[in-house]
Amino acid sequence: MFHHFNPDECTACTVCTVHCPVAAATSRFRGPKMTGPAFERFRLFGLHDDASVEYCSNCKNCDISCPSGVPVSTFNMLARAAYRKGKKTPPGDLLTGFSGDIGRFARHIPAFLLNFGMKNPLSRLLLDAVGLDRRAPLPSFAPMSQRRRLASPPRVEKAGARDIVALFPGCFVSYYEPKVGLDIIFLLEKAGYDVIVSESFVCCGLPLLCGGLMEAAQRRARRNRREVARLTEQGIPVISPCPSCALMVGKEYQELFSEDNIGSPAGPVHEATSFVLSLVEEGRIDVTTARPSAERFAYHAPCHLRALGMGRPGFELLRQIPGAHITDVNAGCCGLAGSYGMKKKRYEIGAQTGATLFSAIAESGTERCLSECGACRAGITHGTGLATMHPLSLLAGVLQ
């Protein structure tokens, strides 16, 4: 690995367990400390039979809360891969794990056909039978025209004329919410950037990692790492609207995989909202010219955004919009955790995990909820019935 992790660095204080939303929701998960660093001592002797690790949602609250800086979630994900090795991968994990490949394959198919094929009652029953709960929210594919526009933005005509930035859209934005990516391109162009979307980028591999498919995740890490290195060497920053992608590509690759397998560190992947916030602070985007808004919004900071350690960029950015009322609900995990809450064996756990957040949003009396994470937006809409949007889509809307 890039970093050698010693389980003895864990002081067994159990702070991570106290802050774990899954451990609070079910006794089937023994907690991040027990399945992670504590059981790692046994795994070092070849024991990999701790089935409790299957219930870890990889939300990173253990990492955020650990006073010793131990990457507890990394221990848990490596433990899941070890536990799954030699076992048959559940069909539901294969579908969610390879969702990025499915999206790329379906990019030339009209949205109405994709959505009917995925969401008709018979399909939902079949998906339920293979492990994706029929009650869980499934995202809808966006119109093919939007998906194509995001995948092929106008080419940079003259190198050196303007600053260049590369957008790593991530699977959720690429296939289900490309308008978020197009809104970000609008903001970056307004700040004087030309934006490129590299065809070499693939799924960050996080869904595969959560499904225990470590080798498949590693192959994607190798490809993305190579492309990020190429862009970084040219002085082109890489940004992503998905905190999970930014965390996975910019940090977790070096924790999970060896340098021999994926190459040397290639530079950071910037989270898009924090990047745009820095442009506002530099005066490259003037928020004071935004169209005033009297709408009331709730803001939810995703777990993986907090794991990046950059505060609440969406909240700090949007409260500068004239007349806007932004409430930071600050009420924990949404429970969907990527695809965790879609799984039949975990749907109830996810719903219970997100109940506190959903109640807080309902009590806030807001009309819409804002969050940087696509899965959080889907989970919040499912849990509250409220419309959601990415903070940068709101900003783009009031600046147009």
- Cβ–Cβ contacts within 10 Å for residue 105, how many? 10
- What SS3 class is residue 328? strand
Is the full-model pTM beyond 0.85? Answer: yes
**Spatial CA neighbour of 349 closest among 75, 135, 178:** 135
Confidence (pLDDT) at 2: 39
- The answer to whether the CB of 395 falls within 8 A of the CB of 338 is no
175-177-181 Cα angle (round to 5): 100
Domain extents for the chain?
Answer: 7-84, 286-399
Estimate the share of the chain in helix, then strand, then coil, as percent rounded to the nearest 5.
55, 10, 40
Over the stretch 297-347, which tens digit does the pLDDT of each residue have?
A: 999 999 999 999 988 999 999 988 888 899 999 999 999 999 999 999 999
In angstroms, what is the C-alpha Rg of the chain?
A: 21
Over the stretch 160-213, which tens digit does the pLDDT of each residue have?
A: 557 999 999 999 999 999 999 999 999 999 999 999 999 999 999 999 999 999
Confidence (pLDDT) at 8: 85
Torsion of CA 173, 179, 183, 188, to 10 degrees: 50
- The answer to whether the CB of 366 falls within 8 A of the CB of 298 is yes
Spatial distance between the Cα atoms of 350 and 380, rounded to a whole number of angstroms: 12
CATH 3.40.50 fits 286-399, yes or no: yes
pLDDT averaged over consecutive 10-residue blocks of the chain (400 residues)? 68 94 94 89 75 94 94 92 90 94 91 95 96 95 94 62 90 97 96 94 95 94 92 94 95 84 77 97 92 88 95 92 90 93 94 95 92 96 95 95
First to last CA, the chain: 46
Distance of CA 216 to the CA centre of its chain: 18
Spatial distance between the Cα atoms of 87 and 74, rounded to a whole number of angstroms: 21
Confidence (pLDDT) at 50: 77
CA distances from 121 to 125, 135, 136 (A): 6, 11, 13
Confidence (pLDDT) at 1: 38
Spatial distance between the Cα atoms of 378 and 365, rounded to a whole number of angstroms: 19
